């Protein structure tokens, strides 16, 4: 099967979050199953020189953006045996960040249209499936239906749309449909929703399959509490919807080989994890206390990550409990400021490190004992899977992919600690159970850690489900 996997970010070229990890690892897993999968993304300024040197320039062509025509350069690269196409337009993509610009609607209209135009320039390589991800690529199924399905060389292509987070839909005023998106007024209703242009809604209407990144989230988004307004349109297209749990790249995230951590360990030989804990204590200026548990949170500091629960109880926790708590992340200034205050109040127990710092995150996964992720909603979440693999017991709320990957060890089988209700003291109780187990029952702790490290979160588990879904899309 020929699959063109379209993403606004992908490791190892451009990374801002979980989407990039999926766009790096899922194609690799499909390729290993013998499928001909290629990835396509914008050529941003952040693509490093080392990567650029390995890229091959193929050709260039014009891409329509409403009534204008814009330059598009096509580059090819290879990573993990997978072919990557990078689309070059310096006006749109030579910027310091990936998203958050006033003209994002135009930038990703261009990208979506450019992906479809590119198919003509791949020396006869025509995808069976175009797999789109999130709102940045949501216009592709719409454009395909409006402009390409009858064009020679494009017939019979199926489009799949994956929702990684339903909160970000690509919402704009209706006026962009003419001058920016370039649709015929007769087609405006395809993307119109609640009086706005909604790219994600357009994709859901036009694609052959809608998927999301965990079975639980696939159910949740049918409910208005989670759907950010799209439950009606999803109900209408329910026959297209499936949830497939993400995996992690278990080659990259392996405490036995990870070059970002000083001491290597595995499920069979765990002893070195203690030395990583010592390195973590040192990194954050804590004295060495192997007896005191370290809990970490590694996250964007935004509200759906459940940070309100933490701000409600963090003082109670730190005044009453012998635990160390480290937060790594950045986001809303209200949270950043709040946690700065916590650091001042609890200099002996709490640390805040701002920023997106993958190598430091890996040291934290390795050196910590407990991993906190109390999300209000979580489409899948990869961090809890990484924590499991590094033997750091997750404490999660039972939502989305957290519910599908972590089960409470209270039953003697689980791999972490969970709580149901979005309530600060329910979370605190789960944290307390984790800390108690650390102090009072080393044997059970070790057994849970063992189950955590052996949990299968590799893409092997889910790659076949994607293939099955692609096959259904082709029927």
Q: Does 406 bind ligand GLC (CB under 6 A)?
A: no
The neighbour count for residue 458, using CB atoms within 10 Å, is 18
Residue with tokens 């696939």: 218
The values of phi and psi at residue 152, to 5°, are -55, 135
Cβ 342 to ligand GLC shortest distance, Å: 25
Number of residues that bind ligand GLC (CB under 6 A): 13
Q: Does 331 bind ligand GLC (CB under 6 A)?
A: no
Q: Does 455 bind ligand GLC (CB under 6 A)?
A: no
DSSP, collapsed to helix, strand or coil, labels residue 189 as helix
Q: Which one among 18, 202, 329, 367 touches ligand GLC, defined by CB under 6 A?
A: 18
The values of phi and psi at residue 210, to 5°, are -110, 130
Q: How far apart are CA 214 and CA 382, in angstroms?
A: 11
Q: Does 116 bind ligand GLC (CB under 6 A)?
A: no
Quick one: which segment of 14-22, 30-38, 149-157, 169-177 binds ligand GLC (CB under 6 A)? 14-22
Q: How far apart are CA 46 and CA 48, in angstroms?
A: 6
Maximum separation of any 2 CA atoms in the chain, in Å: 70
85, two tokens: 């196409």
Q: Does 17 bind ligand GLC (CB under 6 A)?
A: yes
Q: How far apart are CA 216 and CA 190, in angstroms?
A: 28
Residue 17 vs 262, nearer CB to ligand GLC? 17
Q: Give the list of residues 6+ apart from residue 248 with CB closer than 8 angstroms, or none.
A: 21, 25, 382, 385, 386, 389, 457, 458, 459
Residue 190 vs 213, nearer CB to ligand GLC? 213
Site track 361-400 with ligand GLC (rule: CB under 6 A), x = hit: -----------------xxxxx------------------
Residue 112 vs 399, nearer CB to ligand GLC? 399
Q: How far apart are CA 77 and CA 254, in angstroms?
A: 25
Residue 246 vs 418, nearer CB to ligand GLC? 246
Q: How far apart are CA 463 and CA 466, in angstroms?
A: 5
Residue 19 vs 261, nearer CB to ligand GLC? 19
Q: Which one among 38, 107, 113, 164 touches ligand GLC, defined by CB under 6 A?
A: 164
Q: Does 246 bind ligand GLC (CB under 6 A)?
A: yes
Cβ 219 to ligand GLC shortest distance, Å: 15
Q: Measure CA 88 to chain center.
A: 24
154, two tokens: 């494009």
Residue 72 vs 364, nearer CB to ligand GLC? 364
Residue 17 vs 331, nearer CB to ligand GLC? 17
Q: Does 165 bind ligand GLC (CB under 6 A)?
A: yes
> CB burial class (10 A; 0-12, 13-18, 19+) of residue 270?
middle
Cβ 213 to ligand GLC shortest distance, Å: 4
Quick one: which segment of 16-24, 63-71, 79-87, 260-268 binds ligand GLC (CB under 6 A)? 16-24
Quick one: which segment of 12-20, 97-105, 328-336, 448-456 binds ligand GLC (CB under 6 A)? 12-20
CA angle 355, 287, 292 (to 5 degrees): 90
Residue 209 vs 351, nearer CB to ligand GLC? 209
The answer to whether 401 touches 380, Cβ cutoff 8 Å, is yes
Cβ 310 to ligand GLC shortest distance, Å: 18
Q: Does 310 bind ligand GLC (CB under 6 A)?
A: no
The values of phi and psi at residue 214, to 5°, are -160, 150
Residues that bind ligand GLC (CB under 6 A): 17-19, 22, 164-165, 213, 246, 378-382
């Amino acid at each position: 099967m020929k699959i063109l996997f379209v993403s606004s970010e992908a490791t190892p070229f451009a990374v801002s979050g979980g989407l990039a990890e999926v766009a790096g690892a899922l194609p690799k897993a499909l390729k290993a199953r013998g499928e001909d999968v290629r990835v396509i993304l914008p050529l941003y300024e952040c693509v490093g020189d080392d990567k650029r040197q390995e890229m091959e320039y193929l050709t260039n062509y014009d891409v329509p953006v409403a009534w204008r025509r814009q330059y598009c350069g096509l580059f090819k690269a290879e990573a993990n045996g997978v072919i990557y196409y990078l689309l070059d337009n310096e006006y749109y993509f030579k910027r310091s960040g990936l998203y958050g610009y006033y003209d994002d609607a135009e930038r990703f209209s261009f990208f979506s249209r450019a992906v479809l135009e590119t198919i003509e320039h791949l020396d006869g390589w025509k995808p069976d499936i175009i797999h789109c991800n999130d709102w940045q690529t949501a216009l592709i199924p719409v454009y395909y239906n409006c402009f390409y399905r009858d064009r020679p060389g494009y017939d019979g292509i199926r489009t799949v749309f994956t929702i990684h987070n339903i909160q970000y839909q690509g919402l704009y005023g209706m006026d962009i449909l003419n001058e920016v998106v370039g649709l015929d007024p007769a087609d405006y209703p395809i993307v119109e929703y609640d009086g706005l242009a909604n790219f994600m809604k357009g994709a859901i209407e036009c694609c052959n399959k809608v998927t999301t990144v965990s079975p639980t989230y696939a159910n949740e988004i049918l409910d208005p509490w989670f759907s950010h307004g799209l439950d009606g349109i999803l109900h209408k297209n329910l026959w297209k919807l499936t949830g497939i749990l993400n995996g992690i790249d278990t080659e990259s995230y392996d405490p036995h080989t990870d070059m970002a951590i000083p001491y290597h360990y595995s499920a069979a030989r765990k002893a070195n994890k203690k030395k990583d804990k010592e390195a973590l204590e040192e990194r954050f200026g804590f004295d060495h206390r192997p007896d005191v548990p370290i809990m970490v949170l590694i996250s964007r500091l935004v509200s759906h990550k459940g940070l309100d629960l933490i701000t409600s109880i963090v003082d109670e926790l730190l005044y009453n409990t012998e635990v160390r708590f480290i937060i790594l992340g950045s986001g809303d200034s209200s949270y950043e400021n709040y946690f700065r205050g916590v650091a001042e109040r609890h200099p002996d127990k709490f640390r805040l490190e701002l920023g997106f710092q993958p190598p430091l995150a890996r040291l934290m996964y390795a050196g910590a004992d407990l991993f906190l992720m109390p999300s209000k909603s979580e489409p899948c979440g990869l961090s809890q899977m990484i924590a499991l693999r590094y033997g750091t017991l997750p404490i999660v709320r039972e939502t989305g992919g957290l519910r599908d990957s972590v089960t409470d060890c209270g039953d003697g089988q689980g791999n972490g600690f969970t709580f149901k209700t979005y309530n600060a003291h329910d979370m605190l109780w789960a944290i307390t159970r984790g800390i108690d187990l650390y102090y009072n029952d080393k044997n059970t702790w070790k057994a849970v850690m063992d189950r955590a490290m052996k949990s299968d979160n590799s893409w092997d588990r889910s790659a076949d489900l994607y293939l099955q879904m692609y096959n259904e899309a082709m029927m």
